[in-house]
Structure 1
Amino acid sequence: MPCEHRFINDLNPNGQLKYLFVGTFNPSWNRPQNDNANWFYGRQYNDFWFIMPQVFGQQSLMGRNFRTNRQYLMNWCTQQNIGLTDLITNIQDADIHNQLHNDIILSVNDNAFDKFTQIIPTDIQSTINQNANSLCGVYLTRYEHTLLADGIISNLWTTVKDTCYNLNINCHDLVTPSRQFRTLTRIQKLDNWTNTIQICT
């Protein structure tokens, strides 16, 4: 049984984008204790909605009434000309009855996706090309140096970077907002993002 993206219909954001944030994969398979996100980065152990809005001078949306409200977050992003997407749309050779596959897909180890051979990437290049005249920056929400060299995630991100380079669009990796990475506090991560993201003038 393939594992498609939990928000597969939202991977190609609409509207005129100024910023595009790129993650890796949010599986449709349910996590233990139903610890699933209602939308991108919506799990309680991810500080994306604390960090990202404040980079743009807005209030944190980390409160549960914001973070779990899919429609509110979608509308907020549209108003701010912000798009969210992930590198992977579907893992076709994933088997929900295979415990190893479950462990990989529900883990936070993106490098383990190389165990699969039938991965369908998201067409992020089309989104970038459609917004080439308005995009100020495209950002991967994890450090690039932590990716397996020549691995599936690294290669997909390289394709995105090359597209941005050819269009002269700023493109950079960011420290992950996940609390699994505890070396930096959420405030230090906010500083990192603020110093890295180029705000449109």
Structure 2
Amino acid sequence: MACTHKFYGHHAHLAGKNGLLPKWKAKTLIIGTFNPEQSWHLTNSAEYYYGRVRNYFWKVLPRFAGLDAIPHADVPTQLTFLERNQIAVSDLLVSINDADLNNQEHVARIKTVLDDKIELFNQFTWNTDPILDFIAKQGVEAVYFTKLGKVGTVNPKENTFEAQIRKIENCCINKKIPTYRLHTPSGQGLGPGSPRDHKLIHRWYDDNGAKQFPFLSANFSKLDFPFSN
């Protein structure tokens, strides 16, 4: 039994193979990795992308648009924010096809929600081609990955997140669409700093291309989000 993405076929998404992409047009495309369906991860409380309690995405992203943070479980407000600001959120992986729900090692591997553990499987349905089609048809102006990845890896293996990221990056280079890699919104590896969401805002703005967000408010200032080490 394959492990499919939890939000594949969501009511706000396109039909069929495009089931991880939104129905609205987007100038900004933000791409993550994978979120397993509930049967594989019973404690997965996320109701939409980046919806886990310990993820700072919805505390951070609206701030760049000059808005307040959105609660991690308030999906209607999240969807309204994304559509109004022409932002699409998606993930790289649709399903792990050689996962067996009766195999406890497979279940344990997926429950870690760690990309390197997911890559131990061998058969995947990637979302790469639908993403490339979306970029071509929707007038996307900037692409962001919420994964710094392994930029130093030479010739990454095909069935890895790094390989799929580079396919999209290379396509964007040819189309002259800028791409950036954001520090993971989980905050892992962010270093000292409190509050954590403020530190992440500074990291995204100073180092990861957030100052080029197409939806960036003219009134945005990172100084409005102080933090202490």
On whether the aligned pair clears a TM of 0.5, the verdict is: yes
Q: Does 1:191 pair with 2:199?
A: no
Alignment-mate amino acid for residue 199 of structure 1 = F
Return the structure number with greater helix share: 1
Unaligned runs of 5+ in 2: 14-19, 216-229
Cα distance in 2 for partners of 1:33, 1:128 equals 33
Cα distance in 2 for partners of 1:31, 1:93 equals 13
Residue 146 of structure 1, CA deviation: 7.6
Q: Does 1:125 pair with 2:144?
A: no
- Conserved? CA contact 1:19–1:136, under 8 Å: yes
Please list the CA deviations of residues 19-75 of structure 1 after superposition, one character each: whole Å capped at 9, or x if unmatched: 1110000110347663320000001010000111112222111x3xxx212222112
Q: Does 1:17 pair with 2:26?
A: yes
Q: CA RMSD in A?
A: 2.1
Q: After the TM superposition, which residues 24-35 of structure 1 pair with which residues of structure 2 at under 5 Å, given as runs?
A: 24-30=33-39, 34-35=43-44
Residue 182 of structure 1, CA deviation: 4.9
Higher relative contact order (CA 8 A, sep 6+): 1
Deviates more, 1:22-31 or 1:48-57: 22-31
User: What fraction of aligned residue pairs are identical, expressed as a percent?
Assistant: 27
Q: How high is the TM-score relative to the length of structure 2? A: 0.77
Instruction: Look up the match of 2:222.
Output: none
Deviates more, 1:138-147 or 1:93-102: 138-147
For the structure 1 residues 162 and 192, does the alpha-carbon distance in structure 2 shift closer, same or farther, using more than 3 Å as the test?
same
Larger radius of gyration: 2
- Conserved? CA contact 2:35–2:113, under 8 Å: no
- Conserved? CA contact 1:20–1:84, under 8 Å: yes
Q: How high is the TM-score relative to the length of structure 1? A: 0.87
Alignment-mate amino acid for residue 6 of structure 2 = R
